[in-house]
Amino acid sequence: MDARVANWRVDRPETAKPCATCGELLGRGYPSCEGCAEVVDRPLRADWTDLPEQDPERVADAAPGEYSWTCVDWALRQLTCEGCRGELAAGAPTCVGCAAADSARWEVQAPTTNEHALRTAAVVLRAPSWRRESVVSTWRLVLPFVLTGAVVPVAAMRQVRIYVLAGRYEELAELEALPLALPRLPWVTVTAG
C-alpha cells in the first residue's frame, strides 16, 4: 500500500452515524464540534505525526509532491497569516496572502476522488465566508458520507445544492444514507442525464 494514503484508509467510520458530541451525522459539526473534528482531522494528524521532522513552515513551502496533501493542509492549519492574522489559507475572504496559500495548496493533489472530496469539504467548512452559503451547506450535508469512503457524483452534488437553495436543508439533514434525494420540486425543471 502507498504509505502516503495508509493513514487515511484506517479508522474511518463504516456508515454515516450520529456524532456522540453534537448529535448531527458525524462530520456535519466540523470544525466547531470536537467529536466531528476528531474524525475529519484524524488522517491529517496521523500523517503529520509520521513525519520525521514536523516543521509547518517548511512543509507549507515545499515543492508540490514532496509531502502528501494531508501534511500540507495540517501545516497550513498551524500557521498564522501575516496579512489577516487568521489561519493561513482560511483567514479573511479578501486576504491576498490567504488566497495565494490556498491556491498553492491545490498544487498538491489528493490520490483519490474520495480524498479530494474530504479535503475540499474540510477546506470549505474551515473558511465558510469564502463561498456561497449553499455551497458550504452542500458540503456539510455530504461530508458524513465522504468520511465513509463514498464518492458523491458532481450531478448529485448539484442536485443537493438545488434542494438547499429551495430551503430544504433540514429535510436533507434527516436522511441517513445516500442518495440525498427528496420528492421532486414542482417548480424546478430537471434535465434528464
Residue 38 or 50 having the CB closest to Zn ion:
38
Residues 120, 74 contacting (CB under 8 angstroms):
no
Residues 13, 26 contacting (CB under 8 angstroms):
yes
In whole angstroms, how close is the CB of 97 to Zn ion at the nearest point?
Answer: 5
Residue 19 or 152 having the CB closest to Zn ion:
19
The amino acid that residue 123 corresponds to is V
Distance CA 114, CA 110 (A): 9
What's the DSSP call for residue 63? Answer: P
In whole angstroms, how close is the CB of 118 to Zn ion at the nearest point?
Answer: 16
Residue 137 or 159 having the CB closest to Zn ion:
137
In whole angstroms, how close is the CB of 25 to Zn ion at the nearest point?
Answer: 9
- Which parts of this chain interact with Zn ion (CB under 5 A)? 19, 21-22, 29, 33, 35-36, 81, 83-84, 91, 95, 97-98
Distance CA 95, CA 133 (A): 19
In whole angstroms, how close is the CB of 1 to Zn ion at the nearest point?
Answer: 29
Residue 51 or 92 having the CB closest to Zn ion:
92
- 148 exposure class (CB count in 10 Å sphere: 0-12, 13-18, 19+): middle
Residue 35 or 159 having the CB closest to Zn ion:
35
In whole angstroms, how close is the CB of 40 to Zn ion at the nearest point?
Answer: 10
Helices (DSSP H) in the chain: which residue ranges?
3-9, 34-50, 56-61, 69-78, 96-105, 113-126, 133-146, 154-165, 169-173
Residue 51 or 93 having the CB closest to Zn ion:
93
In whole angstroms, how close is the CB of 167 to Zn ion at the nearest point?
Answer: 24
Nearest to 143 by CA among 122, 164, 167, 126: 122
